[in-house]
Chain A
Amino acid sequence: MQAIKVEHLSKTFRVKRKEKGMKGSIKAILHPQTEEIRAVKDVSFVVEEGEVLAFIGPNGAGKSTTIKMLTGILYPDGGCAKVLGMDPTKKRRQLAYGIGTVFGQKEQLWTHLTPYDNFRFFGAIYDLSEKETEIRIDELSNRFGLGDFINTPVRNLSLGQRIRCEIVASLLHRPKVLFLDEPTIGLDPVVKETVRELIRQMNREEHTTIFLTSHDVGDIEKLCRRIIIVNDGQIVLDDSVEHLKHHYPDHSLEEIITEIYKAKELTAVG
Chain B
Amino acid sequence: MSTAVKNQLRVCLLSVKYNIMREMVNKVTFLTNISFMILNNASILVQWFILFRLREDVGGYTFREIMMLWGLTAASYGLSHILFARAFSLPELVIKGKLDAYLVQPKNVLISVITSSIRISAIGDLLYGIILMAFCRLGLREWILAALFLVTGTVVFTAFSLLLGSLSFWFLRMDILENQTVMGMVSFATYPDGIFQGLSRFLLYFIIPVGMAVWHPVHVLARFDAGMLLTVLGYTALLAGSSVAVFYRGLKRYASGNLMGART
A110-136 at interface with B (beta carbon < 8 Å): 110-113, 117, 120-121, 124-127
Q: For the complex, is A259 an interface residue (Cβ under 8 Å from B)?
A: no
B256 close to A (CB within 8 Å) = yes
Contacts of B103 in A (CB 8 A): 71-73, 92
Q: CA separation between A108 and B116, bound complex, in Å?
A: 12
Q: Are B106 and A94 in contact (CB under 8 A)?
A: yes
- Are A111 and B263 neighbours in the complex by a CB distance under 8 Å? yes
* Closest chain B CB from A111 CB (angstroms): 5
Which residue of the partner chain A has the closest CB to B100?
Answer: A73
Q: Is the CB–CB distance between B105 and A111 below 8 Å?
A: no
Of B13-21, B34-42, B54-62, B177-185, which binds chain A?
B13-21
Query: How far, in whole Å, are A97 and B101 apart by their CA atoms in the complex?
Result: 14
Give chain A interface residues in 235-270, CB to chain B under 8 Å. Answer: none
> A212 contacts the other chain (Cβ, under 8 Å)?
no
Question: How far is B7's CA from A121's CA once the two chains are assembled, in angstroms?
Answer: 12
Q: Decide if B21 touches A124 in the complex (CB within 8 Å).
A: no
Stretch in A41-49, A99-107, A141-149 with 4+ CB within 8 Å of B? A99-107
**Residues B100 and A106 in contact, CB atoms below 8 Å apart:** yes
**Which B1-25 residues have C-beta < 8 A from chain A?**
3, 7, 10-11, 14-15, 18, 21-22, 25
> Does B106 lie within 8 Å of A73, measured CB to CB?
no
| Assembly CA distance A260 to B108 (angstroms) | 42
B191 in contact (CB, < 8 A): no
Q: Cβ of B101: which chain A residues have Cβ within 8 Å of it?
A: 106, 108
Whether the pair A110, B22 counts as a contact (CB closer than 8 A) is: yes
Among B7, B25, B260, the residue within 8 A (CB) of A127 is B7
- Please report which residues of chain A, range 6-65, place their CB below 8 angstroms from some CB of chain B when the two chains form the complex: 13, 64-65
The answer to whether A93 has its CB under 8 Å from any CB of chain B is: yes
Total number of B residues with any Cβ neighbor in A under 8 Å: 30
Question: A96-B105, A106-B100, A124-B7 in contact; A113/B22 too (CB < 8 A)?
Answer: yes
Residues of A within 8 A of B106 (CB): 93-97, 125-127
CB of B254 within 8 Å of the partner chain: yes
Q: How near does chain B come to A237, taking the closest CB pair, in angstroms?
A: 25
Select which of A101, A111, A117 is within 8 A of B21 by beta carbon: A117
Cα A152 to Cα B261 with chains together (Å): 19
Q: Is the CB of B104 within 8 A of A107?
A: no
Q: Which of A105, A107, A126 contacts B262 (CB 8 A)?
A: A107
CB-contacts of A57-97 with B (<8 A): 64-65, 68, 71-75, 92-97
Flag whether B64 is at the interface (Cβ < 8 A).
Answer: no
- A127 vs chain B, min Cβ distance (A): 5
Of A74, A105, A110, A111, most buried by chain B (CB within 10 Å of CB) is A110
Bound-state CA distance A153–B264 (Å) is: 12
Check A105 against B18 for contact (C-beta < 8 Å).
no
Chain B nearest CB from A173 CB (Å) reads: 8
Whether A110 pairs with B261 at a CB distance below 8 angstroms is no
What separation, in Å, do the CA atoms of A256 and B108 have in the docked complex? 44
Q: Is B255 interfacial (CB 8 A cutoff)?
A: yes
Docked complex Cα distance between A109 and B116 (Å): 12
In the bound complex, do residue B262 and residue A108 qualify as a contact, i.e. CB atoms below 8 Å apart? yes
**Chain A CB within 8 A of B141 CB:** no
Q: Is the CB of B107 within 8 A of A117?
A: no
Q: Contacts of B254 on A, CB cut-off 8 Å?
A: 73-74
Cα distance, A120 to B18, chains bound together (Å): 11
Nearest residue (CB) in A for B15 is A121
CA distance A94 to B108 in the complex (A): 11
With A108-B262, A110-B18, A121-B18 known to touch, is A96 a contact of B7 (CB < 8 Å)? Answer: no
Interfacial chain B residues near A68, Cβ < 8 Å: 100, 256
Give every chain B residue within 8 A of A108 (Cβ-Cβ): 101, 260, 262
* Contacts A99-B104, A101-B104; A75 near B252 (Cβ below 8 A): yes
Bound complex: CA of A75 vs CA of B256, how far in Å? Answer: 11
Q: Does B258 contact A (CB under 8 A)?
A: yes
Assembled-state Cα–Cα distance A117/B19 (Å): 12
- Cβ of B259 within 8 Å of any chain A Cβ, yes or no, is yes
Please name all residues of chain B whose beta carbon is closer than 8 Å to the beta carbon of A99 when the two chains form the complex. 104
Taken together as a complex, chains A and B put the C-alpha atoms of A97 and B107 apart, in Å, by 10
Render A161-182 as a binary contact track against B, CB cut-off 8 A, 1 for contact: 0000000000000000000000
Determine which residue in B22, B105, B262 has the highest number of CB atoms from chain A within 10 A of its CB, and name it: B105
Residue of A nearest to B261 (CB): A107
Chain B's closest residue to A105 (CB) is: B258
Closest 6 CB pairs of A and B: A106-B260, A96-B106, A112-B22, A110-B263, A73-B103, A93-B106
What chain B residues lie within 8 Å of A92 (beta carbons)?
Answer: 103
Are B255 and A13 neighbours in the complex by a CB distance under 8 Å? yes
Interface string of B236-264 (1 = CB under 8 A from A): 00000000000000001011101111111
Chain B residues with Cβ below 8 Å from A65 are 256
